[in-house]
Copies of this chain bind each other. A is one copy, B any other.
Amino acid sequence: MSKHFTVVKKDPSSRARLGHLITAHGEVETPCFMPVGTQGTVKAMLPRDLREIGCQILLGNTYHLYLRPGHEVIRALGGLHSFMGWDGPILTDSGGYQVFSLGAMRKITEEGARFQSHLDGSTHLLTPEKAVEIQEALGSDIAMTLDECIPSDATRVYVRASTERTIRWAKRCVAAREGRDQLMFGIIQGGLFEDLRRYCVEEMAPLAFEGFAVGGLGIGEGEEQLNAIGSFTVDLLPVAQPRYLMGVGRPQDIINAVRAGFDLFDCVIPTRNARNGTLYTWQGKVNIKRAEFADDGRPLDGSCGCYCCRNFSRAYLRHLYMAGEILSAQLNSLHNLYFYHRLMDKCRETIRSGHAENWTQLWQPNEDT
């Protein structure tokens, strides 16, 4: 068992596990959700408010920070923790996902991914070595290997070639790392093909990583495939290492993935939905824009203990949204992230207690969008 991660307890009724992850900036109880701090800030959240809602670890986006303000600027300022005023753990992605989703004119070669900045059109080359260099400059606690996030409708031929390249890139990341206090996770690709997922794990598992991530899911393949490929792949991964399902997702997706054995999650859903007026309650999703809330004096969720629900009404939240007020994004983000963190609390509590019947009662998605 590696010293940075301990499986504290296994759930008797599923493959879920309670874990303890040690990083250079503190410890993380898993299963854990990581809010996304794309540009060096979790949108609309002060770091102290993240602390208050129980946030343990943030995700930072290498692509965005590399382009603006630049990783060397952040390095010179003492690293990303100091830059963004967050002294807890930070995981950075490798930048690969954004190169493929945001960068223009991208061209993948064995060397790496060449792309044009979505900000100013300037040309850049992201290699595995560069991805490691940037993440070391940022000083994150956990770095990710450079991978290609394969579209869910890619052909088997493409997926095979891409996955093989992702494996070669992962090996180059291992070779490039200078280590010190930074953990590194390898990313498993392989699309929706079980044999390619297995192949990728077989190649990656022996490499010197402190954890593994499953990528290329939650990108339009549908809930059934997400659950099937996710649980198939996580089962192949080393049990003694933390296992991270990248970019997923909705509360029900996270519950399913926890039960399948994943330990770490990140997703923009709680914060992006917040800014769009879609809020999570224990009774289901709520579209705060709806006219019925115009004079509704009740809190969004009477059972929620967040600052938003303790102090404001649905009518006020609707008003802020309709009026385009910044406070709308602030309160909604605070609430949704609070919800996600309590959801993870409940997952951990369910594993701890061993009460299998709790899993199905954690969250029931409603029809409200």
Residue from the list B294, B313, B326 in contact with A330, Cβ < 8 A: B326
Asked if A365 lies at the interface with its beta carbon under 8 angstroms from chain B, I say no
Q: Are A40 and B316 in contact (CB under 8 A)?
A: yes
Given A40-B316, A84-B316, A307-B48; A76-B295 close (CB under 8 Å): yes
In A45-94, which residues have CB < 8 Å from any B CB? 45-48, 64, 68-69, 73, 76-78, 83-85
Q: How many of chain A's residues touch chain B, expressed as a range?
A: 35 or more
Task: Identify which of residues 316-332 in chain A touch chain B, using a CB-to-CB cut-off of 8 Å.
Answer: 316, 318-320, 322-323, 325-327, 329-331
What residues on B are CB-neighbors of A44 within 8 Å? 326-327, 330
Please tell me if the beta carbons of A307 and B73 are within 8 angstroms of each other in the complex: no
Residue of B whose beta carbon sits closest to that of A83: B316
A319 touches B40 (CB 8 A): yes
Residue A311, interface by CB 8 Å: yes
Asked whether A307 and B77 contact (CB < 8 A) given A40-B316, A68-B319, A83-B313, the answer is no
A20-46 residues at the B interface, CB under 8 angstroms: 39-41, 43-46
Q: Measured between alpha carbons, how far is A194 from B46 in the docked complex, in Å?
A: 49
Does A312 touch B at the CB level, under 8 Å?
yes
**Residues in B whose Cβ lies below 8 Å from that of A68:** 319, 322-323
Question: Which of chain B's residues have a CB closer than 8 A to the CB of A307?
Answer: 46, 48
Query: Given A73-B295, A76-B295, A316–B85 Cβ distance below 8 Å?
Result: yes
Interface residues of A in 153-199 (CB under 8 A from B): none
- Judge whether A315 is part of the interface by a CB distance below 8 angstroms: yes
Closest to A73 in B: B295
**Interface flag for A302 (CB, 8 Å):** no
Task: Flag whether A220 is at the interface (Cβ < 8 A).
Answer: no
Interface flag for A121 (CB, 8 Å): no
Question: Bound state CA distance, A302 and B69, in angstroms?
Answer: 23
A12: interface (CB < 8 Å): no
CA distance A78 to B39 in the complex (A): 40
Contacts of A76 in B (CB 8 A): 295, 297
The answer to whether A325 and B69 touch across the interface, beta carbons within 8 angstroms, is: no
Minimum CB–CB distance for A210 against chain B, Å: 29
CB distance from A359 to the nearest CB of B (A): 35
Contacts A39-B320, A77-B313, A78-B297 known; list 19 others, CB within 8 Å.
Answer: A39-B319, A40-B319, A40-B320, A40-B323, A41-B325, A44-B326, A45-B327, A46-B307, A46-B331, A69-B315, A73-B295, A76-B297, A77-B315, A77-B316, A83-B315, A85-B311, A85-B312, A85-B316, A330-B330
Task: Give 4 nearest A-B pairs by CB, closest first.
Answer: A85-B311, A44-B326, A41-B327, A39-B323
